Amino acid sequence: MLGSGSRGNSTLFETAKTRLLVDAGFSRKETYARLAAVGARADGFDAVVISHEHTDHIAGLRALALDLKIPIYISPGTRDAITWDVRLNRVEHFTAGQSFMIGDIEIIPFAVPHDAADPVAFTLTAEGVKIGIVTDLGYIPELVKQHVRGCHLLAFESNHDLDMLKVGPYPWHLKQRLMSRLGHLSNRATAEFLLDGYDGAPHILVLAHLSETNNHPELARLSAEEAFGKRPNGRPHALHLASQSAPTEVFEF
């Protein structure tokens, strides 16, 4: 993950044959800097795939797509919610629930409850490895649990600590939005999923989209660890936290 949070989100996926970005929430310059930081080149991409239209997921989309000369995979509802640049004429549409291929990567978009036009999360499968990236959702419906089963790596939202959010500086209407069923997952909600609903399959779990204002990495980590401590079995081999300010390490399978 090149970065995850309210100021920008983007994730690099790469196989021997295919390279793509999921979301483009950083400027072109920042995206290239973060690719360089993990030893990845800033060319040879096959596509950029967009989850929804919020700025922290598309801020760099126009500049990156034009510079890299790559197609944009996006749902029609999300595209319609964006002020579109006519120069972005390499567009492929997808529909939630219907898988599609980019190179040798099978991608399944699935609907998530969030206050956007047509928000989705994704699983990506290639070479026998399944990866899930699930952020920007207000609660965890059964559909999400079904799609993330069997993931080798799962990046999953743990956005805010409820107590920090309630006493924090945000105006009440924004607090209500974040806590709503179309907002973001709290540490507590994610811990409940990890205790009951999580299949224990992932070798690696990455807690993502942590709020810089309403959360602390150690609170998110402790909440997840406490949930795993209550499970009779099935916990990841490694627990990581994605950051807004820097990429994660490179995860290889």
How does DSSP assign 10-47, residue by residue? BEEEE-SS-EEEE---S-HHHHHHHHHHTT--S----E
Q: Which amino acid is at 71?
A: P
**Calpha distance 68→200 (Å, rounded):** 38
Please give the average per-residue pLDDT across 161-180, as a whole number. Answer: 97
Collapsing DSSP to helix, strand or coil, 14 comes out as strand
Query: In this predicted structure, what is the pLDDT of residue 234?
Result: 78
Residue 16, number of CB atoms within 10 A of its CB: 9
What is the residue extent of each domain of the chain? 137-242
Q: Position of tokens 């959360």?
A: 215
**Calpha distance 102→110 (Å, rounded):** 17
Q: What is the pTM of this model?
A: 0.97
Per-residue pLDDT tens for 193-235?
999 889 988 899 999 999 999 999 999 999 999 999 998 887 8
Torsion from C-alpha of 29, 32, 37, 42, nearest 10 degrees: -160
Per-residue pLDDT tens for 99-111?
999 999 999 999 9
**Calpha distance 75→77 (Å, rounded):** 5
